[in-house]
Amino acid sequence: DAGVIQSPRHEVTEMGQEVTLRCKPISGHNSLFWYRQTMMRGLELLIYFNNNVPIDDSGMPEDRFSAKMPNASFSTLKIQPSEPRDSAVYFCASSFGGLAGFAGDYEQYFGPGTRLTVT
């Protein structure tokens, strides 16, 4: 298996532009997570999907951020409009497991990340 795939690996954009980050989870995994990592704030969970349904989006910083999971093999995280303070490394992770009654061990497999720089 190729693992979790993220694209692009690096993105440099100007303030005000729309940014779309993409993620392909590991086949067979039913949970998908988007994280943001910065020196100041560490690793933050932005949103969590289970069986393609958003379960917890309490970490999404504001309305400029949106995430979708149209099917089990693809997810996007969009920032519109982008701001310099959005500069960070964004990770996607997937796991097998989920809500009560669904077997799994919740070990998360992380992608290599997208380094976003907003100037």
Partner 1 sequence: AQSVTQLDSQVPVFEEAPVELRCNYSSSVSVYLFWYVQYPNQGLQLLLKYLSGSTLVKGINGFEAEFNKSQTSFHLRKPSVHISDTAEYFCAVSARVAGKSTFGDGTTLTVKP
Binding residues for partner 1 (CB under 8 A): 4, 31, 33, 42-43, 45, 48, 50, 55-56, 91, 93, 95, 97-100, 102, 104-113
Nearer to partner 1, 81 or 89 (CB): 89
Instruction: Say whether the peptide bond before residue 8 is cis (omega within 30 degrees of 0).
Output: yes
Q: Which is nearer to partner 1, 1 or 105 (CB)?
A: 105
Q: How far is the CB of 81 from partner 1 (least distance, A)?
A: 27
Closest to partner 1 by CB, 33 or 65: 33
CA distances from 115 to 27, 36, 99, 105 (A): 24, 10, 31, 29
CA atoms of 116 and 58, how far apart (whole Å) = 21
**In the complex, least distance from residue 91 CB atom to partner 1, rounded to whole angstroms:** 6
Instruction: Record the tokens describing residue 70, joined without a space.
Output: 């149209």
Closest CB to partner 1 among residues 14, 56: 56
Secondary structure class of 84 (helix, strand, coil): helix
Output the smallest distance, CB 112 to partner 1, in A. Answer: 5
* φ and ψ of 23, to 5 deg: -145, 135
